[in-house]
Amino acid sequence: MNTPLSEHGSTFRGALTGLLGIGTYLPSRQITNEMICERIDRSDEWIRSRSGIRFRYWAEPTETVEFMAATAAERALEHAGIAASEVGCVIVSTVSHLHQFPSLAAGVAHRIGAATPGAFDISAGCAGFSYGLSLASDMVAAGSARYVLVIAVERLSELLDHEDSGTAFLFGDGAGAAVVGPCDQPGVGPVVWGSDGSHKETIRQSHSWAALRDAPAPEWPVITMDGREVFRWAAYQLGPIAARTLEQAGVTVRDLDSFIPHQANMRIIDELVKELGIPDHVAVARSVEIHGNTSAVSIPLAIQELLASGQARPGGLALLLSFGTGLVWGGQVVRLPPAPTGPPVQATTAPAHPTKEN
């Protein structure tokens, strides 16, 4: 277990807000490395050695982004003991909602019965959960809403070139949600976030949806990525970002109960652990092995995984750290929510009928 803050002379600085509940959704179709290798000239060993990934989950056609997001949101509300009617705002992070408007958040709010909350989508790629969490905490602290739902959801399998050996094996689908509300002690530290548009081509959509309008035989836009450049950027930039995040929160790595970085690549995670000097008592999220890279969904999935397994404790301090397309990044220290009833579990079946939204 973590050593109390007082023994180190540290004081966690943050808003009187916190994560009250967590909920996730994993699609019904598990995809192994062997299944991926049927379409790319690679092996299971090659994939695991470069990414740490063994399998991921892809959504069936009826597992739409609205369905997955709403299911995760309902589970988070149940975990927090908060009624949907009490939610004052719904924030959804996604890059795979294929309708420009209306917002996915508005549809999710209606679907879960959340009366008439504020509702909007954000596009911050893999850093979206950290961005949404910061916005939610600020809303609650300012009195703009008492409870805010932060949801991350992706169907990245729909945006993959399944014959691209650089990306086909990386990404998974799913949803994760958290309820943010008032607390009697600091629960969400200051966000350290930013962007560097000079690297915007490193992770991007191959071409605009507008290209589909005029092309006689249009190609579907897909994820394209310069993996080496992304790895190089992460190796040099994430350590200092994490250090600033800890400094802003007034804590050190020894005060942490867990370290929960974006689950992009096991090698990146291991390098960060070394660079930051993460002590042995700190649980480190490595769920990329079983979920793949689920973009912004990876952090709520990892939070639930660590809490359910007992590796991290409710109320313990966790360093969240994420980065993604833009390039953008975000990090904050948070107190973890109560322990969930179990880890993220694959859906046994997909819905029988799709909704109209996707």
Among all residues, which ones are annotated catalytic? 126, 262, 293
CA distance linking residue 272 with residue 62, whole number of Å = 38
Q: Give the H or E element holding residue 304.
A: helix 298-309
CA distances from 276 to 126, 259, 267, 280 (A): 21, 10, 14, 12
CA distance linking residue 280 with residue 258, whole number of Å = 10
For residues 67 and 355, the answer to whether their CB atoms sit within 8 Å is: yes
Question: What secondary structure, in 3-state letters, does 206-243 show?
Answer: CCCCCHHHHCCCCCCCCEEECHHHHHHHHHHHHHHHHH
What region, left, alpha or beta, does residue 64 occupy, with left being phi > 0 and alpha being psi -120 to 50 degrees? beta
The tokens for 208 are: 């605009």
* Residues forming a β-bridge with 334: 188, 318
In the chain, what are the helix, strand and coil shares in percent, each to the nearest 5?
Answer: 35, 25, 40
CA distances from 77 to 66, 117, 151, 340 (A): 16, 15, 11, 12
